[in-house]
Amino acid sequence: MLHLMKAWWNGRYPDWVPEIALRYLPVAEMIRAQKPCGAILEVGINRSGLTTYLPVPVVGVDCTLRIARSPLVAPVVAMGQALPFQTMAFEYAVCMDTLEHIEASDRNRFLAELMRVTRSRVYLGCPMGREAEALDRQLQHEYRLHKGESFPFLDEHLVNGLPRLEGILDAMQAVAQGSGRRVHLYAQPNVNVLVHRLLLRLWMRTDPVSYAFHRAAVLLVHVRRWLNVGTCYRQIVVAEFEP
């Protein structure tokens, strides 16, 4: 029976990580609702990115790419600030939890490139704001206590500083105006800071109980809309271009 339950679980949630699933599923739903028929780009894909939660082919860009990656990903090694694609080459562009790893002075250039290569919609998600920054600082302290070293991803968050929603919206609006395109911009809050803190604390710990709770926490995806209330760790910005 345990073997059957494990097989069902792995089939239902293959390679799903709770905190990653909660960030990608809203984007997967939005793209699925549009019945995607054009090419999709993901910048900052690492291994599988969007394809774990929406099994469609994507062109995946990162400055380094793992050898082990999803067969749905066509890999391209490049910097987001200089994408090697023609203007409006992709119907959709996705970029999740990447902008905060870009130096602040390069972020507007990064956003401009992301919008340049996209025809219909850009989906940009990342931690934003002072509350998220304070939580990152706290989590980095706890990570050092558990692991005896800092977590490089959080190091980059703290060194670069997290983006602010107003700054991103203003920058994207300016890019659209500069290129003569009309764009509708809106943002969705994503994952309450307390939920994010709980998930990261479970992930940090190595005891069997924490591991089991972290694995089971993937069930939160079924109530995810209730987790996007109050002060949220992340915002998902959607830039929808007019035809």
Q: Is residue 44 part of a domain?
A: yes
| Length of the chain as a residue count | 243
Give per-residue burial for 101-128: e unless 16+ CB within 10 Å, then b. Answer: bbeeeebbbbbbbbbbbbbbbbbbbbbb
Overall domain count for the chain: 1
Q: What is the pLDDT of residue 68?
A: 67
d(CA 29, CA 223): 14
Question: What is the chain's Cα-based Rg?
Answer: 18
How many CB atoms sit inside 10 A of residue 14's CB? 9
Asked whether residue 166 is domain-assigned, the answer is: yes
Is 15 domain-assigned?
Answer: yes
41: closest CA among 66, 58, 24?
58
How far is residue 189's CA from residue 236's CA, in Å, rounded to a whole number?
6
pLDDT at 217: 95
Is the residue at 62 inside a domain? yes
pLDDT at 2: 62
Is 12 domain-assigned? Answer: yes
- pTM across the whole model: 0.94
Q: Which CATH number fits the domain that encloses residue 55? A: 3.40.50.150
pLDDT at 132: 97
Question: What is the pLDDT at residue 11?
Answer: 78
Query: Which domain does 124 fall in, by range?
Result: 2-129+161-190+232-241
Burial-class residue 169 by CB neighbours within 10 Å (0-12, 13-18, 19+): middle
pLDDT at residue 67, as a whole number: 66
Inside any domain, residue 215: no
Give alpha helix (H) positions in 75-129.
Answer: 107-116
**Mean pLDDT by 10-residue block, N- to C-terminus, for the chain (243 residues)?**
70 89 96 86 89 94 78 92 97 97 96 98 97 96 90 92 97 96 97 97 92 93 96 98 90
Amino acid at 90: F
Q: Token digits for 205?
A: 């710990």
Is residue 212 assigned to a domain? Answer: no
Whether residue 105 is contained in a domain is answered as: yes
Amino acid 36: pLDDT: 67
> Could you give the CA distance from residue 67 to residue 222 in angstroms, rounded to a whole number?
32
- Per DSSP, 18 falls in state H
